[in-house]
Structure 1
């Protein structure tokens, strides 16, 4: 996949929908009845990159204060949705240690790698930071796919889609945009902004809700990658 082309197409298509009022408002983000949970292997950006993202979000908040903004603790890249969130999933349904052992075996074959957060893209329901990755990330993903599919562990890898990007969702639409034109202008201003490059030395396996909110996330294990 050519990531730049993928992000560009996603941006053009989605911004056109947002400009026409055809964006999607998330009706579940404030719901107490949302019981979608799963387990995910995630990457966390470093503090400097998160700081750049929060400066961007602070500027957007002055225009659209009522949207949903990710806090530093919630910002992540999904390396792999091991069990995609579904209604009613509970940790009691699995043996967590089995998953830790499988992932640890895979990661022992791989080293740390870098990700660059540069530019903004969008979907009809959210705004995302564009992540550009090295071959190592997708090699880890491919290795995990093979390992889990040869196991009898519960998993739903690639059932929704085959993950190939390294984006991070940072804004979700929770209500109608009140300053649509100014919002789009600001997104365009940050379209190619460099938020930073960071080395991925650790990965987290987490039990999480759909939005990866800190109050619901339970860290199951932290894996360290060998440094080249």
Structure 2
């Protein structure tokens, strides 16, 4: 299945769930004692892309003001979830420099990564921007990371939840009952093929983060510039 087909299937399933009232509410967003943390390698979209995303969020916020919307500072693409968020993990269990070393080794042959954000998709609990890498560089990097971490003996949980292959960015999560599911889908249809723009990735960040990548709970462990 190619990436567009993957996003289309996600959207079809989510649309049916939302309209049937079978969507999921994330009850942990408001839980201040949520202690699920992990380690993630991520990409942040350009300011120009974030400005375009705000147009979508403005419309969504008007229709569903009680939901959770990602601020600009938290919008990201996950390159690799190296240690999945859990209550059992704490930063003092690892040496971040060991992880930085593996990532540097994996980036040796990476020249540049370009990503186009076009259209939106959804899950039964969230709205996401569809990301399309313009070539195989991101996938090749992910495979290098898988190989190098697997051979390193370091603590990691790569692909334990699912094998990452997409390049989407989550921008809205359902934290309360939807006020008007039909209106939400109407807005989603409006942006289904909207071109948010293309950007070249300038750097990648290795972060210690909570489940929602909130800036206030995020600690940058490494910053990797791309040539």
Length-normalised TM-score, structure 1: 0.97
SS at match of 2:140: helix
- Correspondence for 1:36: 36
- Correspondence for 1:2: 2
* 1:15-37 CA distance string (max 9 Å, x none): 01000000000000010221100
Alpha carbons 1:25, 1:175 under 8 Å: kept: yes
SS at match of 2:52: helix
Gaps of 5+ in 1: none
- Correspondence for 1:18: 18
- Correspondence for 2:58: 58
Q: Does 1:209 align with 2:210?
A: yes
Alpha carbons 1:15, 1:184 under 8 Å: kept: yes
Corresponding residue pairs, total = 226
For 1:99 and 1:90, how far apart are their aligned partners in 2?
A: 15
- Correspondence for 1:98: 98
Q: Kindly report which structure 2 residues correspond to 1:119-130, keeping only aligned pairs within 5 A, or say none.
A: 119-130=119-130
- Correspondence for 1:115: 115
For 1:179 and 1:18, how far apart are their aligned partners in 2?
A: 10
Q: Kindly report which structure 2 residues correspond to 1:165-184, keeping only aligned pairs within 5 A, or say none.
A: 165-184=166-185
For 2:122 and 2:181, how far apart are their aligned partners in 1?
A: 14
* 1:101-156 CA distance string (max 9 Å, x none): 11111112211110000001000010000000120000000000000000110000
- Correspondence for 2:225: 224
RMSD of the TM alignment (CA)? 0.8
For 2:128 and 2:148, how far apart are their aligned partners in 1?
A: 30
Measured after TM superposition, the shift of residue 72 of structure 1 is: 0.5
Length-normalised TM-score, structure 2: 0.98
Measured after TM superposition, the shift of residue 76 of structure 1 is: 0.1
* 1:75-109 CA distance string (max 9 Å, x none): 00000001010113111000011100111111122
For 1:58 and 1:91, how far apart are their aligned partners in 2?
A: 36
Measured after TM superposition, the shift of residue 191 of structure 1 is: 0.5
For 2:14 and 2:183, how far apart are their aligned partners in 1?
A: 16
For 2:5 and 2:62, how far apart are their aligned partners in 1?
A: 31
- Correspondence for 1:48: 48
Alpha carbons 1:112, 1:225 under 8 Å: kept: yes
Measured after TM superposition, the shift of residue 39 of structure 1 is: 0.4
Q: Kindly report which structure 2 residues correspond to 1:128-139, keeping only aligned pairs within 5 A, or say none.
A: 128-133=128-133, 134-139=135-140
SS at match of 1:117: strand
Q: Does 1:192 align with 2:193?
A: yes
Q: Kindly report which structure 2 residues correspond to 1:70-81, keeping only aligned pairs within 5 A, or say none.
A: 70-81=70-81
Gaps of 5+ in 2: none
Measured after TM superposition, the shift of residue 201 of structure 1 is: 2.0
Alpha carbons 1:108, 1:225 under 8 Å: kept: no
